[in-house]
Amino acid sequence: MSPARFSLTILLCLTLLASSGVSRSEETALDETNSWDFAPARDPFTPEALLDLRSLNETHSGETGFVKLSGDGNSFVRGDGQPIRFWAIGTDAIGFSPEDMDFHARWLAKLGVNLVRLHVTICDTKEGSQITDLNEEVVGGVHRFIKSCKDNGIYVLISPFYPHFDAPTSWGLAGDPKGALEGIIFFDPKLQDAYRHWTREFYTRKNPYTGLAIAEDPTVAILQVLNEDSLLFWTQQNLPEAQRVLLADQFSIWLSEKYGSVPKAWEAWGEGFKGKDPVDHLEAGRLAVLKVFELTRDPNPKTPALDARLRDTTEYIGHLQRDFYAAMGRHLREDLGCRQLLNATNWRTANDGKLKAVERWSYHALEIDAENEYVGSDYQHKGEADGYRIDAGHFLVNESVLGKPFELSTNFRLEEGHPFIVTETSWKNPNRYQSEGAFLGAAYQSLTGLDGICWFSAQTPYYENDPRKPFWNFNGSQSLHKWNFCWPMSVGMFPANALMYRQGYVAEGEPVVHEERSLDQLWNRESLRLPDNELYGDARHQDFLEKNWKPKGDAINPAAFLIGPVTSKLDRDPTATITQDLSQYLDLDLGIISSNTGELNWHYRDRLVTLNSLKAKGVSGFLKKNGGEFVLGAVTIRSTNDYATIQLVSMDGAPIKSSKRVLIQCGTAARLTGWRTEDAVETFGKGDDAYEVHGERILTIGGPPWRVENTYANIKIANPRLTKATLLDVNGYPVREIVTTRNAEVLEIPLPRNAMYVIVETEAHD
């Protein structure tokens, strides 16, 4: 039975198309008849703004000292011990002009941001550079932007190294790695020494704009060791032979310490096939770390000796990575004097079910857990250079995550004693259904106790009013960059969601699953009962969400991630797993997942989510198909929009039914003027795994201005204190008063077609 507290028309006959959210026809074009121009001028930041969240931030970030862990280690507190929640975004601001840096930081603060992630590589990667050289332009940009952040109460997370580049031959690394630098830092002493040198120069050099070295600057809250790297990921298979030999030599030393010698290790693994690798040289006392593909295999009773070798390989890699992070933590803390909280990295593995627990255990040498996770299936955008470019001719599937809840980027296990940050996420461009992103992110990280999401990424100082790139011309039109988050329905949905997350308007649930694992289970690559694996392939059809689903063995339905917190403790007693009865919150017949707080309901077949808390209300999804009327306590939302996200949040901290100031925020869909598509079908996968996907072919990209689909909605608020509604422009300044009607205690507000932000308040009287 669903505890939903709103009236909802349930569609009795849903086609597979509707339940998946996949389009079978071209988009409805946005033009003057159904949308409004989105072309805001740069914000002047004057006091006349009625929507400005800068006051949520400190006057200067770090003014109370360094950010610390809470007493239980699960979350963050300011230097004075007050809890702090981070609404975060990645940004490319280090490449902006100083004036644009200052503008950008002020704009982000206005939208509710209080943490930015700087994803940089501080070493000089040009051919001819020495391995110890820094990229001084990057260092200077980071220093200057830290000043901008400090002045706007924004904290900083720095990720200083991303090994996704060809190492210069001039660095002199073994094997001269080209396109294969990933994984090497965990075992190559030359690269490790270089990292120590880079970070010493970077973190201890005085910032000329603040007078403080990064190590002693509390504006910088978190240091990440590096971005997206692991010896348990597929990139391990690309290591040059010289590097594989170096790794094998270290593995062989470890085996000798464990067994007495390499031959004794070989003997201890037992009779039979033990794996074969060209780096193996038993007579010379050297055995290879087998390629990671072998670690993705299930144990085989026919090859017990190979299984024993793989167990030792897994244990070795786990310890190697953890020891590396511990060593770098000591370097940062003890050698350099850095007082920031530390995160290892943020990656995944070649088989998360078998290996992610090992990966995460290695991170726990330091304080913070993290992972990068994006929303958007592999089939949603395909074409030449689709990793960074959007072109006419590309295949596109406009698909809402509301029909595939297991793809939500907050579905993570939280290790007790370690905060967890999603250091990169977004609803990938050019998906039409983006207004749901910030809403779902804020609501469900609140529910689960996640400690922050860094939206990826602000590539422009302000809204990207013209996203076309003049240096890219393909198929008769200019291209768009795929990863800028400064589009209308992405960053434009920040204010209401930053406010409700940072102010705790959505309750954290009680843990629904707590799972413990021993190290032996990790080395044996035993899957957790509820892994937080990334979804691959066709994410639309999940057995766990079907009416006839029955658990197999001791598996737990992943819907648990949408019911309440899922926690774990690695290196503990594996018998201590605790699971709540999920059936009271999971209605497979109706297709509803309800939070154990009673505030959130996810109707995955109807593609709709509602939020009903005291201080925040909202609905996101396909409103018209679901009856168009949603009663959420003191608020009734009526809308004929096919798709929209409509929210109300208290601006004064009081419940909406008694608040004197409420923000209404509306998101629909946005496209450039002239954007056109046509119906298309693509085949994905091979052989028996092949499947067809119905979507669209982009015909024209179009050009500025953006067009935002009209809002067709009416809001009723049962609150006798509210008397006045004001339409705001995109920058939060008043445009005009909205004519409202009152019936007893209920104020009715017909939203204008171009409503993005509306302030409803108690009218001041002289």
d(CA 69, CA 417): 9
Min mean pLDDT across 420-429, 535-544, 720-729 is at 535-544
What integer best gives the mean pLDDT of the chain? Answer: 95
d(CA 656, CA 649): 7
SS (H, E, C) 203-226: HHCECCCCCCEHHHCCCEEEEECC
Residue 21: per-residue pLDDT: 41
Residue 6: per-residue pLDDT: 36
Residue 8: per-residue pLDDT: 36
d(CA 387, CA 560): 32
Between the CA atoms of 643, 649, 651 and 652, what dihedral angle is there, to the nearest 10 degrees? 170
Token reading at 80: 């004075």
d(CA 598, CA 507): 9
151 and 61 in contact (C-beta within 8 Å)? no
What H or E segment, with its residue span, contains residue 148? helix 136-151
Residue 546: per-residue pLDDT: 94
Handedness of CA 686, 687, 691, 696 (dihedral sign): positive
SS3 678: strand
* 765 confidence band (pLDDT: 50, 70, 90): low
Burial class (CB in 10 A: 0-12, 13-18, 19+), 354: buried
Min mean pLDDT across 1-10, 210-219, 350-359, 627-636 is at 1-10
* 378 confidence band (pLDDT: 50, 70, 90): confident
Give the CATH number of domain 66-236+338-381+398-467+482-502; options: 3.40.50.300, 3.30.70.20, 3.30.70.1710, 3.20.20.80. Answer: 3.20.20.80
Residue 691: per-residue pLDDT: 87
296 and 304 in contact (C-beta within 8 Å)? no
Residue 13: per-residue pLDDT: 32
Over residues 340-345, mean pLDDT: 99
Note the helical H segments in 214-330: 241-259, 262-268, 304-330
- Res 17 pLDDT > 90: no
Over residues 415-434, mean pLDDT: 98
Token reading at 153: 């109460």
- Res 538 pLDDT > 80: no
Residue 340: per-residue pLDDT: 99
Phi, psi dihedral angles at 146 (to 5 degrees): -55, -40
The full set of domain ranges for the chain reads 66-236+338-381+398-467+482-502, 241-315, 513-587
Place of tokens 């000329």: 208
410 and 372 in contact (C-beta within 8 Å)? no
pLDDT in tens, 454-491: 999 999 999 999 999 988 888 778 999 999 999 999 99
pLDDT in tens, 703-739: 999 999 999 999 999 999 999 999 999 999 999 999 9
Looking at residue 446, the DSSP 8-state letter turns out to be H
342 and 223 in contact (C-beta within 8 Å)? yes
- Res 213 pLDDT > 50: yes
Compute the half-sphere exposure of residue 65: CA atoms within 13 Å on the CB side of its CA. Answer: 11
655: amino acid identity, one letter: P
- Res 84 pLDDT > 50: yes
